[in-house]
Amino acid sequence: MNTEKSGKGPVQVPGKASLRRELLAARALLSTEDVTAAATALAAGALALPELADARTVAAYVSVGREPGTRALLDALRERGVRVLLPVLLADNDLDWAVYGGAEHLLPAGRGLLEPDGDRLGPAAVVEADAVLLPGLAVDGAGMRLGRGGGSYDRVLARLSATGADPALIVLLYANEVVARVPVEPHDHPVDAVVTPAGARRFTA
């Protein structure tokens, strides 16, 4: 779910913009078969993480296009009895949340996104999550995540920090998207783990 835009428009940071272009160009070359195969491996790898194995509530997102696939993972979590929260993009680019009720309860929304049709729980619902799956384009060896350009998920992370919530932060990526270094800004926050089709990697502070 590519929703990282601020009310003032995307923020272009030197280094980040070129890295985003490079990674998006690589994703554009993936075939449908590549994306499907990767999604299966990502679900298996993510489900093996203790952070998800023990979670009762997981905040996630619906992948679109050639993003690393999340739909198999969403269904598997739901079948486990996990309460899965999905984002609903608000007019100011903040995120509301609703419970995932299955693929048949996803509706087309703006910007090519899919959103749940359930009752809106409010932006603060994310603080109830034991784990949060974050969309991204890359992560580096320190766990720093490169997002789409600044806004929606920065607000989510700030909300978690402000309330003292400390869920596991997990990003799903393709193997080539684990890079040597991501350009960092003061507000950027490291993730706890990355899952690629090749396996999972954890980061320490």
The pLDDT, as a whole number, for residue 7 is: 40
Q: How far apart, in Å, are the Cα atoms of 54 and each of 13, 51, 62, 191, 201?
A: 37, 6, 21, 18, 18
How far is Cα of residue 60 from the mean position of the Cα atoms in its chain? 6
Tokens of 73: 């993972």
pLDDT at 150 over 60: no
Name the least confident of 24-33, 63-72, 111-120, 146-155: 146-155
Mean pLDDT of the chain: 90
Tokens of 183: 């350009």
Global confidence as pTM: 0.89
User: Exposure string (b/e) for 24-46, b if CB count within 10 Å is 16 or more?
Assistant: eeebeebeeeebeebbebbbebb
Q: Give the annotated binding-site residues.
A: 16-20, 62, 67, 145-153
User: Exposure string (b/e) for 114-138, b if CB count within 10 Å is 16 or more?
Assistant: bbbeeeeeebebbbebbbbbbbbbb
Q: Give the annotated binding-site residues for substrate.
A: 62, 67
Name the least confident of 46-50, 97-101, 119-123, 201-205: 201-205
pLDDT at 133 over 50: yes
How far is Cα of residue 185 from the mean position of the Cα atoms in its chain? 19
Tokens of 98: 């609703």
201 Cβ contact list (under 8 Å, min separation 6):
178, 193, 194
The pLDDT, as a whole number, for residue 128 is: 97
The pLDDT, as a whole number, for residue 111 is: 78
Q: Give the annotated binding-site residues for ATP.
A: 16-20, 145-153
What span, in angstroms and rounded, lies between the C-alpha atoms of 68 and 196? 9
CATH architecture of 33-197: 3-Layer(aba) Sandwich (3.40)
